[in-house]
Amino acid sequence: MKTSPVKTIKVALAGQPNVGKSALLNSISNAHLKVGNFTGVTVKKQVVHFTRGEYEFEITDLPGSYSLTDYTIEERVTKQYLDDNNYDLILNVVDSTNIERNLYLSTELLALNKKVVIALNMTDEAVNEGVFIDEQQLGKILGARCVKTSAIKKNGIDELIETIIDTYKSDLSDLHLQFSEPFEEEISHIVTFLEDKKFQCKISLKALAIKLLREDKKAYQRFNEEPIWIELLPIINNAYQHLYLHYDTKDLEDIFNDEKNALAKGAVAETVHFEKEIKLSLTDKIDALLMHQIAGLPIFLFMMWGLFQLTFDIGSIPMDWINSFFLALIEGTKNFLGNTELASVVADGAIAGVGAVVLFLPNIIILFFGIALLETTGYMSRVAFLLDGFFHKFGLHGKSFIPLVTGFGCSVPAYMAARTLKNDRDRLLTLFIIGFMSCGARLPIYVLFVGAFFAEHHAGNILFIIYITGALLGIVAAKILKMTVFKGQDEPFVMEMPKYRLPSFKLVWHTVSGQAMMYLRKAGTFILLASVLIWFASNYPKQPEVDQIYQVKIEQTTDKAQARILANQLAMHKLENSYLGKIGHASEPFFAPLGYDWRMAVALEAGLAAKEVVVATLGVLYGLGDDITEQHTGLIDKIRENISLPSGISFIVFVMIYLPCLAASMVFMREAGGWKYLGYLFVFTTVTAWVLSFAALHITRMLI
């Protein structure tokens, strides 16, 4: 028996930011995509495949865009895909609670003369707010079938899939959009001319006429090669003159915005019923407190302080268990493998390096969990509004807050989130200071040094101060850069403020687990390799003559304490004369004024690859030559013994500022526009880190 071939339906998923586009895709296909309540989460298109019955769906999730223009990177990506790629239909996701605003994009999608299905998402919230939509009538007006859905509650999903299949099987209908009388008149003139000339086109002639009136570059390029262009050009020029007179402007963007607004208003007036609400919505009540002009910012700072308190206090509980496990694993490995090179590379290299990083996994999980909660509830977008006025004083844009606060998690998505800034100057300025926001990879370094130098009941406060200080330094740096390099007028701040929503446990789980697994994958792969390389560089070249001299001295002494001292002297001599020691000593003159020894210098240099390697490097270097006894239970004790408080404070400041990891640097280079910008960033961050670390060292020495 022959089975019918599977038919593939290619769907372009489009919509404005914060309409639940990715959440709807997640509900349809059970795909795990990151979802957020602020602009710029889906900065790349993502393709998801799944099968329903005899159909295989290939859905391409396009960046959230307010319109199909070249104004922002998201809009350019979306417009280019919709213009140039092959797909069967467009699934336009609309926020039912903000139906009129969302229909602005819908009218542009419909003007492409493609098959379109409109998902009226968040209908449950719309009903709660007294917004009732006649989807049948709306579909007739727009010429596209409309389906009510709720991505969170998974309502209407099956109906939406059936509608997509029906639309795929049906013929493309004529363009239903009705513009104002003068606009329709000029469209009609162009269409009539093209019909008379029997002009053939893949899209409808009305859609083509709209493209010509919008000065679409590709449409004009095609007609420049057509003989009828000479006859068509006067018709288009006359159309422009008519529209300019009617609208009293020659700005075509303004003209089309008026047309879109009129279309959306007309459609809403005929199909949407609003019930007046006497009481304030829950969002309004919460905003009255959290968005308060005076109390709003202190509340945000208090929330962040609480998050860092929990990060240290709760995170420190399993740290002791993890530390004990790895110490026992190191000792057991050495006992099993004996006093061999293999035992040393596995125990002192691989296990010690990876263990030093895994030790801080609980802190990472708590930090990401807190940030994910604030993002998914819609609170982070509101903080951007709170900080806009403050940011503008330092030359930053209010929208800069989103990539900056994302930088507390990881610099890679933070650099990508800077795409939401429309102005290239504002975007570059934001890119240059994202590194001042301490990413999750720097948290283990902070926890290590804070635990070594400060009492446990002060640790959360110190951690909060470190993060806030980094952010403030970044803002000051932005002001300096704005006054010197990125001069120019500020753009107005326009950003969507989504409604508050209860966080989805599934969403938070995927966000946190994804970040934690990424952290563990780095520990088990890249950091494992780095730890072994560091072990090799710290153990070679071998020095048999020196070994023999010290072994004779150790055998001749009967004092166990003296024997231990000699053994440690031997280990330190071998370490300082190893490849790693030579690298450290070569760079020590640069770091010596900051109070660092050669081991701290090597750790910072290794941190250029990944900040977690700083902890792993310190674990390998300070672990060698020290017996693990009840007085030396972990790396924190060794840091406390080998590094002074002023040097530790200086080290924290340097880590806070200097160049991000290799992966983040490559993303920065791509987003900024070239290698030269990465060079500028390296010089800027290195000089700033050195100067401020030098100041921190001497200020701390004066205070203690």
pLDDT tens digit sequence for 102-129:
998 998 898 888 899 999 999 988 888 8
Q: Which one-letter DSSP state was computed for residue 594?
A: G
| Span of 48-52, 153-157, 311-315, 677-681 with lowest mean pLDDT | 311-315
pLDDT tens digit sequence for 387-399:
777 777 887 877 7
Phi, psi angle pair for 258, to nearest 5° = -60, -40
Can you tell me the distance from the alpha carbon of 230 to that of 223, in angstroms, rounded to the nearest whole number? 9
Which residues, 6+ apart, have CB-to-CB distance to 621 below 8 Å? 534, 538, 575, 580, 599, 602, 603
Question: Which of 654, 659, 626 shows the shortest CA–CA distance to 640?
Answer: 626
pLDDT tens digit sequence for 248-272:
778 877 888 888 787 888 888 888 8
Supply the pLDDT for residue 632: 36
Question: Of the segments 512-516, 530-534, 637-641, which one has the largest average pLDDT value?
Answer: 637-641
Which residues, 6+ apart, have CB-to-CB distance to 146 below 8 Å? 117, 118, 119, 120, 133, 135, 136, 138, 139
pLDDT tens digit sequence for 289-313:
887 878 888 888 888 888 877 877 7
Beta strands (DSSP E) in 112-154 are: 116-121, 131-133, 145-148
Please name the helix (run of DSSP H) or strand (run of DSSP E) that holds residue 50, with its range, or none: strand 46-52
pLDDT tens digit sequence for 555-575:
777 777 777 777 767 767 777
pLDDT tens digit sequence for 623-646:
643 433 333 346 788 888 888 999
Can you tell me the distance from the alpha carbon of 569 to that of 239, in angstroms, rounded to the nearest whole number? 89
Share of the chain above pLDDT 70, in %: 89
Furthest-apart CA atoms within the chain: distance in Å: 111
Report residue 413's pLDDT band, with 50, 70 and 90 as the boundaries.
Answer: low
- For residues 539-564, give the mean pLDDT: 79
User: Which residues sit opposite 146 in a β-bridge?
Assistant: 118
| Residue, of 525 and 450, whose pLDDT is higher | 450
- For residues 419-443, give the mean pLDDT: 82
Q: Which one-letter DSSP state was computed for residue 150?
A: B
Supply the pLDDT for residue 252: 79
Q: Which long-range contacts (CB under 8 A, 24 or more apart) does 328-331 make?
A: 329/355, 330/355, 330/628, 331/628
What does the mean pLDDT of the chain come to?
Answer: 80
Give the amino acid at 652: I
User: Does the pLDDT at position 278 exceed 70?
Assistant: no
Per DSSP, the three-state class of 51 is strand
Find the length of the chain. Answer: 704
User: Does the pLDDT at position 532 exceed 60?
Assistant: yes
Count of Cβ atoms closer than 10 Å to residue 4 Cβ: 6
Phi, psi angle pair for 121, to nearest 5° = -80, 165
Supply the pLDDT for residue 526: 66
Model pTM?
A: 0.57
Supply the pLDDT for residue 41: 40
Contact between residue 64 and residue 19 where contact means Cβ atoms under 8 Å apart = yes
Beta strands (DSSP E) in 96-205 are: 116-121, 131-133, 145-148
| Distances 492 to 208, 383, 389, 495 between C-alpha atoms, Å | 34, 17, 11, 10
Report residue 617's pLDDT band, with 50, 70 and 90 as the boundaries.
Answer: confident
Can you tell me the distance from the alpha carbon of 375 to that of 291, in angstroms, rounded to the nearest whole number? 16
- For residues 669-697, give the mean pLDDT: 91
Query: In the Cβ-directed half-sphere of 641, how many Cα atoms lie within 13 Å?
Result: 12
| Span of 117-126, 167-176, 519-528 with lowest mean pLDDT | 519-528
Please name the helix (run of DSSP H) or strand (run of DSSP E) that holds residue 188, with its range, or none: helix 181-196
Supply the pLDDT for residue 522: 67
Phi, psi angle pair for 93, to nearest 5° = -90, 130
Which residues, 6+ apart, have CB-to-CB distance to 604 below 8 Å? 591, 596, 614, 651, 654, 655, 658
Supply the pLDDT for residue 276: 61
- Opening angle at CA 544, ends 540 and 546, nearest 5: 100
Contact between residue 515 and residue 364 where contact means Cβ atoms under 8 Å apart = yes
Q: Residue 305: exposed, middle, or buried by beta-carbon count in 10 A (0-12, 13-18, 19+)?
A: middle
User: Does the pLDDT at position 486 exceed 90?
Assistant: no
User: Does the pLDDT at position 373 exceed 80?
Assistant: yes
Count of Cβ atoms closer than 10 Å to residue 381 Cβ: 23
User: Does the pLDDT at position 654 exceed 90?
Assistant: yes
| Residue, of 649 and 226, whose pLDDT is higher | 649
Question: Which of 343, 586, 564, 363 shows the shortest CA–CA distance to 463?
Answer: 363
Q: What is the DSSP string of 203-217?
A: S-HHHHHHHHHTT-H
| Residue, of 81 and 179, whose pLDDT is higher | 81
Helices 316-337, 296-313: inter-axial angle, 10-degree rounding: 30
User: Does the pLDDT at position 615 exceed 90?
Assistant: no
Which residues, 6+ apart, have CB-to-CB distance to 83 below 8 Å? 112, 218
Supply the pLDDT for residue 473: 92
User: Does the pLDDT at position 2 exceed 60?
Assistant: no
User: Does the pLDDT at position 24 exceed 80?
Assistant: yes
Question: Which of 665, 602, 600, 224 shows the shortest CA–CA distance to 448?
Answer: 600
Ordered by where they begin, the domains of the chain are 7-169 (3.40.50.300), 181-274 (1.10.287)
Supply the pLDDT for residue 91: 94
Question: Which of 320, 642, 171 shows the shortest CA–CA distance to 449?
Answer: 642
Gyration radius of the chain over CA positions: 31
For the record, the structure tokens of 401 come out as: 């807050």
Can you tell me the distance from the alpha carbon of 402 to that of 381, in angstroms, rounded to the nearest whole number? 7
In b/e form, how buried is each residue of 560-589, taking b as 16+ CB within 10 angstroms?
A: eeeeeebbeebeebbbeebebbebbeebbe
Can you tell me the distance from the alpha carbon of 146 to that of 116, in angstroms, rounded to the nearest whole number? 9
Which residues, 6+ apart, have CB-to-CB distance to 129 below 8 Å? 97, 277, 281
Share of the chain above pLDDT 90, in %: 15
